[in-house]
Each structure stands twice: as structure tokens, then as C-alpha cells.
Amino acid sequence: MLYQIYEAQRSLMEPFADFAQAAAKLYSNPLSPFGQNPFAQRVSASYDLLYRLGKDYEKPAFGLQTVNVDGVDVAIHERVEIDKPFCELRRFKRFSDNPATLTQLKGQPAVLIVAPLSGHYATLLRDTVRTMLKDHKVYITDWKNARIVPLADGEFHLDDYVNYVQEFIRHLQGVYGNCHVISVCQPTVPVLAAVSLMASRGETTPLTMTMMGGPIDARKSPTAVNNLAMNKSFEWFENNVIYRVPSNFPGAGRRVYPGFLQHTGFVAMNPDRHASSHYDYFKNLLKGDDASAEAHRKFYDEYNAVLDMDADYYLETIRIVFQEFRLVHGTWDVRGVDGQLERVRPQDITTTAHFTVEGELDDISGAGQTEAAHGLCSGIPKTLQKHLEVKGAGHYGIFSGRRWRDVVYPQVKAFIHEHNQPQVQAVRSSAATKKVAARSPARPAAKRKAAKA
């Protein structure tokens, strides 16, 4: 019922927000009789702020048109490579009519960026994609808003997330021979599971696996986010944050964790900071500081755009990752597309180079949570493992902004390049072949339990 009440309120507020937008323009126009008023600028700023607070925020566009590659502007064509019910594999294909640049682009490594499905859209990683495009072929998981997915398309579980990642990895391997994987925040867990399952089956695994600010072991340095997930019961989440999508959306009737509730939680973590930011925006409008005002708009256009998450996926993530810690305990079984259960064994990964990144001031995934993956991936030689703690960086700073571009990205780029050389790939392939040959007959997968785990 709460979702329906929210939608009714949003519908009622929409004309007022439109009026505020029109009034802001009217009072800011010097040719308008209203713009001649000595208080016109203040009135315009007030209406503008009211509009920003009341408007509905839709999914932003990536908006990446060109990228500079060694002084040459290269055109970007964004297209969907694979369209799944709950996710699109999106590619940013680069074009150039410069022969030398084209040859350079063709020789660069392919990277799958697995974006988080935790409230915001994949466009939150726009800066990550833009930076990576200079030196890599880039693909990204663009998760869909669950409220637009019809019930006929079925359910979405954490197991499905893991299966999606495996399918996308295999797609890139089929096109390029192999690929590199980067996971940011929430997907570090399902990505590690996906690569582990591929390794356990003897499949070719990605050349590198970079994990940034994720809850591999949420018991370490728990943050406010971790504490909420760990201290509330599973039943509390199911009874208090799960609602059905109203009838005015394609996904009517689907059980979801609504985006508007997630956004309320985001703001509640730092209410003073957001209030100050909006007040600064108001003052910048009064001063005519267009650059600062536009920076505020861009940030909140992204921050305020949230999506609904399928209830099954969200609740299973709470239970498996933050309450039962099945990954670190070695008790996580994932259902494959064939309906069979397979145990997640990170220790079976042996040929994928592993890089973890954490922010010193991360208040989402605490210190040591991502680094814990190295202990789980005991089969990877120490020479193929690396960890980086970014001094002074918060959660967003490790994948967006100045610290990402100046500190993190150069090391990520170097790590991928180091493990992308032909001779390295040959050694990896040989090692994988020997591992499969020496492997004892595969353990039969357990039958899927009739009751939900």
C-alpha cells in the first residue's frame, strides 16, 4: 500500500514541480516583466530549488559521445550486445578513420565492468567507463528497473545474477579469446562466485579480476550499512521494505524493494550534508555561479535516480552476504541455468590475476572487506595478487573523480596490461589445461531442493 500512496503523492506533486520550473525561468528572464523585480533573482532561485526537490528523476543517459585516445577524438557508439529480462550488456564501441588509431584500438584489451545492482543505475559509473575507454574495449552491465519488468519474465534471484555474469564473460571470451573483469561494490560477491564456478568446472576464467570496495567479508570493519543488514532479522526486511509494484507500471504486481525507500535511506545516512549542498546550490544561483550550480544538478540527477530491486534478489543478498556469510564460510551453493546446485569454491581459481581496491574512508564497505577475497582465492599465486588502499578516498572516490583518475586507474590499467600479454595468456592456457587433466571426475551437482533455501 505504501508504494501506491507514494505514487499518488508523486502524481499530485508533478504539476507543482512543472509550475516551479516555469516560474523559475520566468523570473530569471530579464526580458520578462517579472524579471524586472529587484527580488527576481531570489524568487527564481527559490522556485528552481523547489523544482529540483519535487521533480521525478528518470534514468540518466551515459552521454558518452567521444573519447580522446592519444590526442585523437574517437567516436563512441553505445549499443546493447545482450538483452536479458533484468539486464542489458551494453557496449561502448569506438570508431575512428585514423588507420594508426584504429590499429591501436583493435589491440586493446576487452573489459567487462559489472555495475552494482544496489539502488542506483549503472550510469553512476559513467566516469569509470569514460576513463577506461581510452585504453580498453568496454562493456558494462546495465541493470533494469524491476518495476518495468513484467511478471511474465519470471523471478530474479542472486543465483540468476551469478549466471548472467558468467554468460557475459563467455560472450566476451567468444569474441576476443578472453577478457578482464572489474566489479564495483555490491557485484564483487557474485562476480567472485561466477569466476569460482567457471574455474571449478575447468572453464577458461578471465585474465584479471579487479574488485573495488565490495563486501566480500562484511564482518570486517562493519559500517552503518553492514550493521543494518546484520542487526535486523530477515523477516524484518521482508515485512518492512518489500512492496508490490503499482498497476501503472509494466511490472505491476512484482515484489520489489522500491527505489524511493532506498533513496530515503541514502539521504538519511548524511542528511546534514545534503541540506548544506542544496543551500549552497541556492546561494550559487543567487551569485550567478553557473558552473557550481550545473555541477550540483549533474550530481543529483544521478544520485536521485534510483531503481526498484526484485525482492528475491535483494532478500537473498541480505541473507547470504550480510547475515549468513556463506561465501567466506564456504557454504554457498548457486543454482545454475540447468537447475543444479554447485558449491562456490574461490580456492579453485588459479590462473586469474586478482587486484583488490579499497578506500581509506569508505563508509559503505569497511576496511578489509574487499581485501578478504585474497584469503579466499588461495589457489592464485601471490605473484598474481595485488591490493591497493587509496588514502583519503571514500566509497565513490575509488571509481569516480580525481582520485580514481589519478591514483586508482593508472594502477588498474597497468595491472590489466601486465596480464594481457600474449605470453602470459599462453602460460595461463597451459596451466588451465593441466589443471583440467589432473582433476578427478567432476562431483555430481546436488539436486535442487524442493523448498527454498
Helix (H) or strand (E) holding 229: helix 224-231
* Distance (Å, whole) CA 213 – CA 396: 9
pLDDT in tens, 179-210: 999 999 999 999 999 999 999 999 999 999 99
pLDDT at residue 446 tops 70? no
Residues 353/369, Cβ–Cβ less than 8 Å = no
Helices (H), 80-125: 99-106
**What are φ and ψ of residue 48, in 5° steps?**
-65, -45
pLDDT at residue 47 tops 60? yes
Integer distance in angstroms from the first to the last C-alpha of the chain?
28
pLDDT classification of 422: cutoffs 50, 70, 90: low
Q: What pLDDT does 431 receive?
A: 52
Cross-strand partners of 388: 357
Helix (H) or strand (E) holding 113: strand 110-114
Residues 242/255, Cβ–Cβ less than 8 Å = yes
CA 290 to chain centre: 30
pLDDT at residue 447 tops 60? no
Q: What pLDDT does 105 receive?
A: 93
Angle separating helix axes 271-287 and 40-54, nearest 10 degrees: 140
pLDDT at residue 340 tops 80? yes
CB half-sphere exposure, 154, CA atoms < 13 A? 6
pLDDT (mean) for 148-154 = 96
* Distance (Å, whole) CA 177 – CA 424: 13
Q: What pLDDT does 428 receive?
A: 55
* Distance (Å, whole) CA 373 – CA 329: 12
pTM over 0.95: no
Residues 212/367, Cβ–Cβ less than 8 Å = no
Residue 338 CB burial class (10 angstroms; 0-12, 13-18, ≥19): exposed
Fold (CATH) for 66-237+309-438: Rossmann fold (3.40.50)
Cross-strand partners of 359: 390
Pairing verdict, β 208-212 and 180-184:
parallel
pLDDT (mean) for 381-410 = 95
Q: List CB contacts of 3: < 8 A, sequence separation 6 or more.
A: 243, 244, 245, 246, 258
Q: What pLDDT does 138 receive?
A: 98
Cross-strand partners of 67: 74
pLDDT in tens, 48-79: 999 999 998 999 999 999 999 988 999 999 99
Output the nine-digit C-alpha cell for 442. 567432476
- Report the mean per-residue pLDDT for the chain: 90
pLDDT in tens, 2-38: 888 888 888 888 999 999 999 999 998 888 888 778 8
Residues 279/178, Cβ–Cβ less than 8 Å = no
Q: Which amino acid is at 431?
A: A
pLDDT (mean) for 292-310 = 93
Residues 175/110, Cβ–Cβ less than 8 Å = yes
Q: What pLDDT does 265 receive?
A: 83
* Distance (Å, whole) CA 358 – CA 185: 10
pLDDT at residue 445 tops 50? no
CA 337 to chain centre: 23
Output the nine-digit C-alpha cell for 227. 550493521
Output the nine-digit C-alpha cell for 167. 554468460
Q: What pLDDT does 150 receive?
A: 97
Output the nine-digit C-alpha cell for 335. 543454482
Its sign, for the CA torsion 259, 264, 267, 270, is: negative
Helix (H) or strand (E) holding 279: helix 271-287
pLDDT at residue 453 tops 50? no
Cα distances from 318 to residues 237, 245, 325, 367, 391, in angstroms, run 9, 21, 9, 20, 29
Cα distances from 208 to residues 43, 371, 390, 418, in angstroms, run 54, 15, 20, 10
pLDDT (mean) for 391-417 = 95
pLDDT at residue 132 tops 90? yes
pLDDT in tens, 81-126: 999 999 999 999 999 988 999 999 999 999 999 999 988 999 999 9
Cross-strand partners of 333: 343
Cα distances from 427 to residues 201, 244, 350, 411, 422, in angstroms, run 19, 51, 12, 23, 9
pLDDT at residue 269 tops 70? yes
